[in-house]
Structure 1
């Protein structure tokens, strides 16, 4: 592909507070069990998500208290700005660039509201030029890492030779709710963590790993599968359907259709790099993509070490896959609100 965008660098970052799954379960039991009789039955979810540790922008004690929009927003802005600066600097340095070399910044985030957006808030501290192009993207949820990479790659292709920085950052733990006595809230408490990932892309001058195709599939009448509801307390998680069952039934034809537009098939892909929504979702993906059970090993290890961080999680998986050595052809996939499947095809030259 002429002027395909190449990955110059990839970096990840997590906030400083390590949250062990046992700690989170104990806290959830203390806060919810006396008001929610079903909690003891649902608490087994904590052992079944595949999560061992995750990270939060606040120490665990902060989450013991009920928080409203003002407190959540202050915590979001402080935590997100710090993570943005850290992960962006690492990615820019690994690309052998300086912040003033960045021409476009794509910021993907769905777990907080910031106006001005995050890249504007940190521009002076990082050293972006005054004429840097800013592309903040909200609402992609767990699909944001892959869709954000797709957007960034198209922007790089549109202006060959320019440097595009993608930052995917989510602070999912700040959405923890004391008032939502639902299974969906228990699942969220058992699963979500905070993190950020950044990628620097450039088109027109080669690169070992190139983006050769992108695509999305939006299923009709699926707005209730996943998302946020917004009320006076903050974000409230929406999980209205059994996502693993949906994946097993619908993922293969959607991915096959996207690949067909690239003149590829599932059999042409050497490695799938997937967003690990949870253990059951990973198993469902292996079934849907006709993979051996256990094939999505990096997905499981990232989920265990960091939890589901929404948008950046798949880029953590890509980081581990790159460290092990990418095969000639990989496909990044993620699922998110819409309900949407998003894909990015990578071609790697050893």
Structure 2
């Protein structure tokens, strides 16, 4: 019997507060335009992202006040706990399981800090067993959905028959800053939203969609591409290079290299499932992967409906592709701090 991990279920959730892109632009203009002369030039970013609306854990008025670490952390814990419970329950129910049947929990998040970690805080409310293994993962950023899936798959494969729950959630909106008058901060304000995805994996007892292989590539001397700075106010976004240009120059060769280590080629892939960082990133991915413009249609729909939610975003794309019908072989890709490309190959039996 095939001992690779199978995708048993996949669910997504977003917090309750819906923000239309023009609302966010108006709020940003009110806060920043008088203090930052370049704002009017950069305001076009809000229209060029391809985003219609996105979601946040707090109402828009909350973000208009200055916030420091204690308030941001309090908002993170409150919002993350609600989102984690909702999406985990969905994925467990779709898998036909009870929470007590989950053997391992992998928690992926880079937008807040909690010790004890979220799955420990929520073990009682969720109904996890006291002996369930916990694997919290921090710092993968936008690559977290793919890298977290790869980690969860290896854990499932190491114990055939066990149930591994992976939850990827990010509350990107809590990092909004009023004090950092920079292009990077305007880019972040134009792009990021909150959301969560969860899935259950199991190896050894069949399953239509299997995690066939995974791989990563870390580029040297790229720590300035993406990340967080940390100060008394909280996290501050780092974008010091143009990511679409980096994708265009580097992603094609990286995917070819990763696929070769999987003993696959680009010709073996029926559908690329990509983390949609924004419209320009999607266009750069299509060019880098030699795809026809418009091929990454689900990616464009997800960025339009939810914005860039960091780690879980690519799993929102995968959910739509599952509904539409997975091809025989697909490759999930995402880029994150490091700077790193992460890939997971899925094999689907119709």
Q: TM-score range by the shorter chain?
A: over 0.9
Measure the CA separation in 1 of the matches of 2:271 and 2:64: 41
2:182 matched to 1:182?
yes
Structure 1 position 261, deviation (Å): 1.1
Aligned to 2:321: 321
Q: Deviations over 1:1-39 (max 9, x none)?
A: 941000000000000000000000000000001100000
Aligned to 2:52: 52
Aligned to 1:125: 125
Measure the CA separation in 1 of the matches of 2:317 and 2:297: 9
Measure the CA separation in 2 of the matches of 1:209 and 1:72: 38
Q: How does 1:1-350 map to 2 (within 5 A)?
A: 2-350=2-350
For residue 93 of structure 2, give the secondary structure of its aligned residue in structure 1.
Answer: helix
Q: Is the 8 A contact 2:2 2:206 kept in 1?
A: no
Measure the CA separation in 2 of the matches of 1:158 and 1:7: 15
For residue 262 of structure 2, give the secondary structure of its aligned residue in structure 1.
Answer: coil
Structure 1 position 183, deviation (Å): 0.3
Measure the CA separation in 2 of the matches of 1:19 and 1:98: 34
Measure the CA separation in 1 of the matches of 2:170 and 2:161: 29
Residue ranges of structure 1 left out of the alignment (5+ in a row) = none
Structure 1 position 262, deviation (Å): 1.3
Q: CA RMSD in A?
A: 0.6
Measure the CA separation in 2 of the matches of 1:242 and 1:189: 16
Normalised TM-score (structure 2): 0.99
For residue 166 of structure 2, give the secondary structure of its aligned residue in structure 1.
Answer: strand
Count of residue pairs the alignment pairs up = 350
Q: Deviations over 1:290-341 (max 9, x none)?
A: 0000000000000000000000000000000000000000000000000000
Measure the CA separation in 2 of the matches of 1:212 and 1:251: 21
Q: Is the 8 A contact 2:302 2:317 kept in 1?
A: yes
Measure the CA separation in 1 of the matches of 2:12 and 2:217: 27
Residue ranges of structure 2 left out of the alignment (5+ in a row) = none
Measure the CA separation in 1 of the matches of 2:343 and 2:125: 33
Measure the CA separation in 1 of the matches of 2:279 and 2:22: 17
Q: Deviations over 1:38-86 (max 9, x none)?
A: 0001000000011110000000000010100000000000000000000
Measure the CA separation in 2 of the matches of 1:50 and 1:336: 20
Q: Deviations over 1:186-228 (max 9, x none)?
A: 0000000000000000001110000000000000000000000
